[in-house]
Structure 1
Amino acid sequence: MTNLIVTITDHANYGNRLQNYALQTLLSQYGDVTTAYMYLDMTSGLKKVIRTGKQIIRPLYAPFVDNKRSLEIKRRKHCNAFSKAYIHENDFTLSDYKGLSSKRGKQYNRVVIGSDQVWNPQWISDRELALRLGSFVPDNVPIISYAASIGSTEVRKSTIPIFQKYLPRMRDISVREFQGAELIKSMTGLNATVVLDPTLMIDADKWLKITNDFVKKNDSYVLTYFLGKPSEDQERTIQEYAKAHNCRVRRILDLRDQETYIAGPQDFVELISKAEYVFTDSYHACCFSMLFQKQFTVFNRASNQRIGNMNSRMETLFQLFHLKSTMRDTGLAPAIDYEKVNHLLSAHRATSKKWLDSAMKA
């Protein structure tokens, strides 16, 4: 049995790469696994040629560009190296202009869609959404979704018929967020099961096997990873904690910390695993903080000043693990009881695994 994963292909995104690797690992017990390399918004062969050309020449001109651009090129090089080493994505390509293409006559027997915001219609065309819902799959090939995410509290009207057409073709549907399950129910009448993000299905010791000494020995640091920009009060909290605990501050994807900026996905894992404390607004930073039993605080972004306005993936994560108190406008979150979290993680893993075992039956 060859299982074909359909997900977002974003080599520069830590969470995307790590969830793809995790799902591949999770599915390997059910047969061979490969991921379709998806070209986003690629309406012509020319665009594909241009993108491939850029990937080739970027490292060549890195020494001649400004420091910011040079750092980004190094970071992308590390991210691409991770995908090449750990994610099998060379057998199939999926694009708007050509649909699914197979290399070297490769075939697949089952399609697994997910995880990440693979069904978020805000970023893609209706045709691309249809592809991500399996429009290319023959009727005799089973389709399931694992921890797929719509990533929004609502969808535009033009996409509802697409969900209504393709979701009923799936053998089993699972999603990452309660909000996603509710949207699917309202659009199609179908029931979707909420399961854990694949990154949470892999034990911490197995994650450590992909790390490669990015962090020097005896490095004591507080780690930050923000997709938004921390407020002055939030930054003050970070600095005060670091000073009180005699730590420096390491910052993922922040040009103030050039040493850390070039980190690849495996380095992202290692940085969290060795941090004294984590400050973030990132979903996957929360997941890995939990896996490595790190105390962490999640800061509201400027546009999300209340817990009730958190995005749905955070809401689901905190509801599943009773961690709503970790979300703050400023100040430290209460200490996390990891005996309780680990008990819940074991229970949710068992439920998610049971669903997957059933869904993957031929």
Structure 2
Amino acid sequence: MKKIGIITILNVNNYGAELQASALNIKLRDMGYDNEIINYLYYKHKDYKPEKKSKPIVKIDTITNMKGIALKWIDKYNKVTHAANTKIRKERFDKFHAENTNISKPYKSISELYNANLDYDVFIVGSDQVWNPNTRTSIEPYFLTFAPKDKKRISFASSFGVGSLNKDFYPTYKKCFESLDTISCREGSGVDLIKEITGREATQVVDPTLLLTKTEWESKMVKYESKEPYILMYILTYSPYITNLAKEIQKQTGYKIIRVCFNSVNVEKDPTILNIVDAGPSEFLGLYAGASFVLTNSFHGSVFSLIFEKPFYTIAPATKNNNARQENLLKMVGLENRLVKEGSPFPTDALEIDFTFPSEELERQRQKSLNFLTNAINK
């Protein structure tokens, strides 16, 4: 049996990141492969040790860098001031991985990773924004440059997180891509970028969370008990527009509003909106399964709306250039009309969605992606 090591973004207190990491691990086990996640700590982790070698491989603009520093300190402050909720969240995230995910010992620095002499037959860099040029650390490990050259090195559903790349970065990225034997990308825009940068063909596959069916995810959830229907908001950045849209839908439906918060802090100050701050991944899945409508500006928020077949709107921030992820996803399943630009007039589409075609297309894409994975590992 081939042994597979996966590197991806993990342990970042983010529902999408944790669920996509676990999903690929679970699906490879189901396919009969012995595999584990190589626990290279993400640079935001409190135990990560930055080094000279771990500096970003491309220039980070000043605004992005300053924003990253500010968010890091805000996160530290929130953990101290909301210690009880933070503790419960962490326990629930840890419990989810203990029950579902095979994870190696931690590698706390880039040197530890590169000096580890890892004994896998196949190396896979998994999904999420592992190739994002705005990452404030070296993304070289996410091109499997640490893996032995005589081992198979595959990217599965990896993402740039942006729709375009500064052409000054092309030579650096081209050199990094030389480390990969087989390349797949989560977005069609990423496939196009790889062709432009390297001349190589990449395959578009689905995010690992879509490799698991609704039934499989339901088996891992903690059911959310609610006596009345609810609108679920999963919003990564505060948006009065989305809150107001939720209230508009509430007027039409009478549903209550719940916000599952991205950290342990109450975001919505309106007492009529229920903030859930201590959910782990299993509780997050339960909230999705029970929702009657979803509002989100998160890629994975859109993904789980599709998986659980929940009527939804995805709100694209007006000031950001990384909407390609949502656009690609919704175009793939013929639901482009569910993407709403923040600040635009409230949508008037029907609150119900016919999921017949989206579900059929997701199944086609799931099988295509599983075939890619099987062929890449065994060829």
Per the TM superposition, whether the score is higher than 0.5 is yes
User: Do the aligned partners of 1:35 and 1:92 also contact (CA within 8 Å) in 2?
Assistant: no
Structure 2 stretches of 5 or more lacking a match? 44-48, 52-75
Partner of residue 190 from structure 1, selected from 175, 187, 200: 200
TM-score, length of structure 1 as denominator length: 0.84
- Cα 1:259–1:237 change in 2 (3 A) is closer
Q: For the aligned residues, what is the CA RMSD?
A: 2.7
In the other structure, the counterpart of 1:23 is: 24
Q: Quote the offset at 1:131 in angstroms.
A: 1.4
Report whether the alignment pairs 1:289 with 2:305. Answer: yes
Counterpart CA distance in 2 for 1:160 and 1:172 is 19
1:147 to 151, 157, 160: 157
Partner SS state of residue 33, structure 1: strand
- Residue 344 of structure 1 corresponds to 361
Q: Which residue pairs with 1:55 in the alignment?
A: none
In structure 2, do the counterparts of structure 1 residues 160 and 326 end up closer, same or farther at CA, with 3 Å as the change threshold? same
Question: Structure 1 CA distance, aligned partners of 2:175 and 2:307?
Answer: 37
Of all paired residues, the percent bearing the same amino acid is 27
CA 1:70/1:169 → structure 2, altered by over 3 Å: closer, same or farther?
A: same
Residue type of the alignment partner of 2:316: N
Q: Distance in 1 between matches of 2:282 and 2:349?
A: 27
Equivalent residue of 2:249, what SS? helix
Deviation sequence 1:210-236 (CA, Å, 0-9, x none): 1123x125342110011222234x423
Change (3 A) 1:238 1:210: same
Are 1:11 and 1:79, in contact at CA under 8 Å, matched by a contact in 2?
no
Residue 40 (structure 1) aligned with residue 42 (structure 2): yes
Residue equivalent to 1:117: 129
Whether the 8 Å contact between 1:185 and 1:192 is mirrored in structure 2 is yes
Which residue does the alignment assign to 1:181? 191
Contact 1:119 1:151 in 2 (8 A): yes
**Which amino acid letter does the alignment assign opposite residue 273 of structure 1?**
A
1:171 is aligned, of 166, 181, 186, to 181
Task: State the partner residue of 1:5.
Answer: 6
Aligned-partner Cα distance in 1 for 2:109–2:159 = 20
1:315 has 2:327 as partner: yes
What TM-score does the superposition give when structure 2 sets the normalisation length?
Answer: 0.81
1:268 matched residue in structure 2: 284
Mapped partners of 1:157, 1:12: distance in 2:
32
Question: Residue type matched to 1:40 in 2?
Answer: Y
Residue 225 of structure 1 corresponds to 234
Equivalent position of 1:50 in the other structure:
none
Contact 1:40 1:95 in 2 (8 A): no
CA distance in 2, matches of 1:237, 1:158: 40
- Give me the whole-angstrom Cα distance separating, in 1, the residues matched to 2:93 and 2:112: 26
- CA 1:121–1:347: 2 relative to 1, 3 Å: same
Give distance in 2, aligned partners of 1:319 and 1:285.
16
Deviations 1:7-46 (A, max 9, x none): 11233010000001111122221411100112234225xx
Is the 2:37–2:102 contact (alpha carbons within 8 Å) kept by the matching residues of 1? yes
User: Which amino acid is the alignment partner of residue 133 of structure 2?
Assistant: P
Q: Could you tell me how far apart the structure 2 residues matched to 1:79 and 1:94 are? A: 19
Inter-partner Cα distance in structure 1 for 2:310 and 2:359: 12
Amino acid at match of 2:13: A
Q: Tell me the matched-pair count.
A: 336
Can you list the C-alpha shifts for 1:263-301, whole angstroms capped at 9, x where unaligned? 111111111111010011111111111111110011232
1:75 aligns with 2:89: yes
Cα distance in 2 between the residues matched to 1:342 and 1:69: 41
Task: Sort the Cα spacing of 1:138 and 1:23 in 2 relative to 1 into closer, same or farther, 3 A.
Answer: same
8 A Cα contact 1:26 1:201, kept in partner: yes
Q: CA deviation at 1:244?
A: 3.4
1:310-347 deviation digits (Å, cap 9, x = unpaired): 61111110111111100123235444221111121122
List structure 1 runs of 4+ shifted beyond 4 angstroms: 156-159
Structure 1: gaps of 5 or more residues: 45-57
Q: Is the 8 A contact 2:13 2:90 kept in 1?
A: yes
